[in-house]
């Protein structure tokens, strides 16, 4: 893939030459999408933020090895997901922070919920919105690969092929993950989808 | 259920279920009798809307600055100074001079180096000559003096100095 087909790859080639302005441009462009992905995978906003910084630092460190073989965003999200999985593994090795622990009241539910995260946020943020809360809960209940696939799918220009590369699985498996994830979400959000409450949500 | 039956859909619409609300509405209106499909498509559209309108994660305003600061630290760490400080300042001073001055300084440095090497060689030769002289004086001694050489050698340094005087007297 030629660098001129992907402006981000062209920027990354400039980063490879030590251009900090190009790196800043990439960070500015991707900080929010990367943070959105990490925030909905890790339960803690501060940890997600630290990890997002680490993702971009890793991009900078790996710049000298960068080859234009795929879209920059694919490479970036692969790094983000790998670091995120490493963090989840690290946490799972410590019982106090275990993500595998079941909910004290409902053993079918994971202990990882977004309530704690939301308590750490300013009270007038989106978490006061019941519908948003329900969507976040539904997303959090999905298996990691389904959730990541759904969140990447949410990115406007992310194709099935790119998502498959990031997840490291086949195209058909990726389509299946997204389909199953969406079906689960539709099932969990059915009352909200049918009542049309979604029309009242704030637009970004 | 995810994919419709509309043959006029673009490949992008085909790949992303419900990504295009207009296409989904068109599909629903094209097959009004298929209520189940219509409801399914409406669910797809609403789900997409919900997902696309999820609020952004909170991000501090100085996030980029912090990342850039970390990156700059990393860049500094990976690029160690090529020359130590004093040597660097010396080379800077040297480079700021005219070429004749540079040549004179470099010649002086080379000359000092050559003289040092020559002096070292002279000192080394003198040391060898002194050793040979000592050995030759010992070789001229009678054999009965050398019979106790091992015992004398084991004596402390102070005692040996006395023995040297004794050897001189014996000569």
Partners of B72 on chain A (C-beta within 8 Å) are 20
Minimal-distance CA residue of chain B relative to A23:
B68
Q: Total structural domains in chain B?
A: 3
- Look at residue B108 and tell me whether its pLDDT is greater than 90: yes
- CB within 8 Å: A35 and B57: yes
Note the pLDDT of residue B136: 76
CA A133, A137, A140, A143 dihedral sign is negative
- CB within 8 Å: A204 and B56: yes
Task: Output phi, psi for A110, to 5 deg.
Answer: -70, 155
* Tokens (6 digits) for B12: 């992008």
CATH number for the domain running over A114-204: 1.10.10.10
Q: Which tens digit of pLDDT belongs to each residue from A37-46?
A: 999 988 788 8
Q: What is the 3-state secondary structure (H, E, C) of A65-86?
A: HCCCCCCHHHHHHHHHHHHHHH
Note the pLDDT of residue B153: 72
Give the residue carrying structure tokens 């499909």: B37
Q: What is the 3-state secondary structure (H, E, C) of A4-65?
A: HHCHHHHHHHHHHCCCHHHHHHHHHHHHHHHHHHHHCCCCCHHHHHHHHHHHHHHHHHCHHH
Q: Angle CA(A117)–CA(A184)–CA(A42) in degrees, nearest 5?
A: 25
Task: Give the mean pLDDT of chain A.
Answer: 79
- CB within 8 Å: B54 and A198: no
Asked: is A1-112 a CATH 1.10.1740.10 domain? The reply is: yes
CA dihedral B148→B153→B159→B162, nearest 10 degrees, is 60
Partners of B75 on chain A (C-beta within 8 Å) are 18, 20, 60
- CB within 8 Å: B50 and A27: no
In chain A, residues under CATH classification 1.10.1740.10 are: 1-112
- CB within 8 Å: A182 and B74: no
Residue A57's contacts (CB-CB under 8 Å, 6 or more residues apart) are B67, B70, B71, B74
Which residue range forms the structural domain that includes residue B37? 11-52
- Look at residue A56 and tell me whether its pLDDT is greater than 90: yes
- CB within 8 Å: B46 and A193: yes
The shortest C-alpha distance from A4 to chain B (Å) reads 22
- Look at residue A104 and tell me whether its pLDDT is greater than 80: no
Long-range contacts of A65-70 (CB under 8 A, 24+ apart): A66/A12, A66/A13, A66/A15, A66/A16, A68/A1, A68/A2, A68/A3, A68/A6, A68/A9, A68/A12, A68/A13, A69/A1, A70/A1, A70/A162, A70/A165
- Let me know if residue B84 belongs to a domain: no
Choose the closest CB to B64 out of A28, A122, A159. A28
B21 shares a domain with B43: yes
For chain B, the distance separating the N- and C-terminal CA atoms, rounded to the nearest angstrom, is: 121
B135 shares a domain with B101: yes
- CB within 8 Å: A32 and B2: no
Note the pLDDT of residue A93: 75
Partners of B52 on chain A (C-beta within 8 Å) are 154
Q: Which tens digit of pLDDT belongs to each residue from B7-21?
A: 444 444 445 554 555
- ipTM exceeding cut-off 0.85 for this assembly: no
Minimal-distance CA residue of chain A relative to B74:
A61
- Look at residue A111 and tell me whether its pLDDT is greater than 70: no
């Amino acid at each position: 893939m030629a660098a001129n087909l992907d402006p981000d790859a062209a920027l990354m080639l400039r980063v490879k030459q030590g251009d900090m302005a190009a790196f800043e441009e990439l960070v500015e462009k991707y900080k929010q999408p990367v943070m959105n992905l990490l925030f909905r995978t890790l339960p803690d906003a501060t940890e997600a933020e630290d990890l997002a910084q680490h993702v971009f630092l890793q991009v900078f460190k790996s710049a000298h090895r960068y080859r234009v073989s795929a879209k920059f965003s694919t490479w970036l999200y692969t790094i983000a997901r790998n670091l995120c999985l490493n963090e989840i593994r690290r946490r799972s090795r410590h019982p106090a922070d275990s993500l595998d622990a079941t909910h004290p009241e409902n053993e079918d539910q994971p202990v990882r919920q977004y309530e704690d995260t939301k308590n750490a946020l300013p009270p007038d943020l989106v978490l006061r919105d019941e519908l948003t809360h329900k969507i976040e809960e539904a997303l959090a209940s999905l298996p990691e690969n389904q959730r990541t696939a759904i969140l990447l799918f949410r990115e406007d220009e992310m194709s099935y092929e790119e998502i498959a590369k990031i997840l490291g699985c086949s195209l058909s498996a990726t389509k299946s993950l997204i389909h199953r994830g969406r079906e689960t979400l539709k099932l969990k959000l059915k009352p909200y989808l049918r009542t049309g409450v979604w029309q009242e949500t704030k637009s970004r | 259920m995810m994919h419709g039956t509309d043959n006029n859909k673009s490949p992008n619409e085909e790949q992303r279920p419900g990504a295009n609300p207009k296409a989904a509405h068109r599909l629903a209106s094209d097959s009004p009798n298929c209520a189940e499909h219509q409801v399914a498509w409406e669910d797809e559209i609403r789900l997409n809307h919900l997902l696309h309108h999820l609020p952004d994660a909170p991000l501090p305003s100085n996030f980029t600055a912090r990342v850039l600061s970390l990156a700059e630290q990393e860049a500094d760490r990976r690029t160690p100074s090529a020359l130590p400080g004093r040597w660097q300042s010396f080379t800077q001073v040297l480079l700021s001079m005219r070429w004749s001055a540079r040549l004179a300084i470099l010649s002086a440095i080379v000359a000092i180096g050559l003289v040092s090497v020559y002096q070292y060689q002279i000192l080394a030769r003198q040391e060898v000559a002194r050793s040979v002289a000592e050995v030759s004086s010992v070789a001229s001694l009678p054999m009965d003096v050398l019979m106790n050489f091992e015992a004398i050698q084991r004596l402390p340094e102070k005692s040996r100095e006395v023995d040297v005087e004794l050897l001189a007297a014996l000569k």
